[in-house]
Amino acid sequence: MIRLLYFASLRDRLGLATEEVAPDIDQLDVAKLRSWLSQRGGTWAEVFGTARGVLAAVNQELAGPGTQVRDGDEVGFFPPVTGG
Amino acid sequence: MHSSIQIQSEPLDPWSIQRELVSGQTGSGALVSFVGLMRDFNQGDAVLGMELEHYPGMTEKALERILEEAGRRWRLDGVRVVHRIGALHPGDPIVLVCVTSAHRGEAFAACEFVIDYLKTRAPFWKKELTPAGERWVEARESDARAERRWGSGSTEDEGLPATRRAGAEKGL
């Protein structure tokens, strides 16, 4: 299982803060996970169908599209940060 | 270099934290601090209040990474970052970055570096309450530009979590 977390405006748009998923995909990485999520359609396709505006972290480290995602990992998705 | 990071929903008192940082540190000739305050306007609208959210766990890791990088770039005695979360009112301190060093040049540079990196790398999000309702604050291109001035560092490499994690495990 992979634990997904959604934050801030992304969580509001998706109406979901967290879920557990188990995509049946070889060599899963962030790009493949995004594409898998976008196949849910609707808002999911809007959010994850384009590369812009959504950042990802794997196990709480900023991740690129090619960062691998393994069973047991935590993946966070969020908009560009606005702290400070 | 001793460093500490604190995320809190309680009000933040910049003065007592600075006193604490310099207490007993008689080798430090410079203390430079930045305090970010909640403004009562943004993009032409009045802002009545703010709600700050973060990604628990990742926030601390991201900040540790930034402080480690500051420690590699400058000779510092101490660095402290305290960031608010939760409900804020106009005038409230949102963030405090304070740096001590033997000399002012390094303390000035490191303090600015830490806040610039925090703005683009630490997972915090602001939601503003305006007379028209709530809205999420959008990231600014000027913050991304401010970060880029500092050039690439070892924390720059997105998608290389293994090397980055190795640095984090050394602790602060």
Instruction: Specify the range with the lowest mean pLDDT, choosing from A7-21, A50-64, B91-105.
Output: A50-64
* Contact (CB, 8 A) for B33 and B104: no
pLDDT at B163: 35
- Nearest CA-CA distance, residue B135 and chain A, Å: 9
* Contact (CB, 8 A) for B95 and B81: yes
Closest residue by Cα to residue B147 from A79, A80, A46: A80
Cα–Cα distance between B170 and B162 in angstroms, integer? Answer: 13
Cα–Cα distance between B115 and B32 in angstroms, integer? Answer: 12
pLDDT at B151: 87
Find how far residue B12's CA is from the centre of its chain: 13
Cα–Cα distance between B47 and B33 in angstroms, integer? Answer: 25
pLDDT at B152: 66
Q: How many CB atoms lie within 10 A of CB A22?
A: 8
- Nearest CA-CA distance, residue A51 and chain B, Å: 15
Task: Using the predicted structure, report yes or no on whether residue A15 has a pLDDT greater than 60.
Answer: yes
Looking at the complex, does the CB of residue B54 fall below 8 Å from at least one CB of chain A? yes
Closest residue by Cα to residue A53 from A18, A83, A8: A8
What is the arithmetic mean of pLDDT over B120-132?
Answer: 96
> Which of B96, B158, B164 is most worth mutating to test chain A (most A CB atoms within 10 A of its CB)?
B158
- The interface predicted TM-score (ipTM) is 0.94
> Which of B7, B35, B38, B55 is most worth mutating to test chain A (most A CB atoms within 10 A of its CB)?
B55
* Contact (CB, 8 A) for B80 and B21: yes
Between chains, do A83 and B126 touch, taking CB under 8 Å as contact?
yes
CB-side exposure of B71: number of CA atoms within 13 Å?
18
Option in A64, A65, A83 nearest B124 (CB): A83
What is the arithmetic mean of pLDDT over B7-25?
Answer: 95
Tell the CATH topology of B2-165: Aldehyde Oxidoreductase; domain 3 (3.90.1170)
Cα–Cα distance between B138 and A82 in angstroms, integer? Answer: 7
pLDDT at B164: 36
Q: For B27-43, write each residue's pLDDT tens digit.
A: 999 999 999 999 999 98
Strands B30-37 and B78-84: unpaired
Residue A31: closest CA among chain B residues belongs to which residue?
B159
Q: For B132-158, write each residue's pLDDT tens digit.
A: 999 999 998 899 899 999 986 544 444
Option in A7, A12, A81 nearest B122 (CB): A81
- In B73-92, the residues whose Cβ lies within 8 Å of chain A are 83
What is the arithmetic mean of pLDDT over B117-140?
Answer: 95
Option in B61, B137, B165 nearest A82 (CB): B137
Cα–Cα distance between A43 and A10 in angstroms, integer? Answer: 10
pTM of the model: 0.89
* Phi then psi dihedrals of residue B7, to 5 deg: -115, 125
> Which of B39, B50, B53 is most worth mutating to test chain A (most A CB atoms within 10 A of its CB)?
B53
Cα–Cα distance between B166 and B50 in angstroms, integer? Answer: 36
Residue B37: closest CA among chain A residues belongs to which residue?
A84
- Strand spans (E) along chain B: 2-8, 30-37, 41-42, 45-46, 49-54, 78-84, 86-88, 93-101, 124-130, 133-136
Cα–Cα distance between B134 and B75 in angstroms, integer? Answer: 43
* Contact (CB, 8 A) for B65 and B155: yes
Closest residue by Cα to residue A3 from A54, A55, A70: A70
Q: For A25-69, write each residue's pLDDT tens digit.
A: 999 999 999 999 999 999 999 999 986 789 999 999 999 999 999
- Tokens at residue B130, please? 């305006």
Strands A74-78 and A2-6: parallel
Domain coordinates of chain B in residue numbers? 2-165
Cα–Cα distance between B85 and B80 in angstroms, integer? Answer: 17
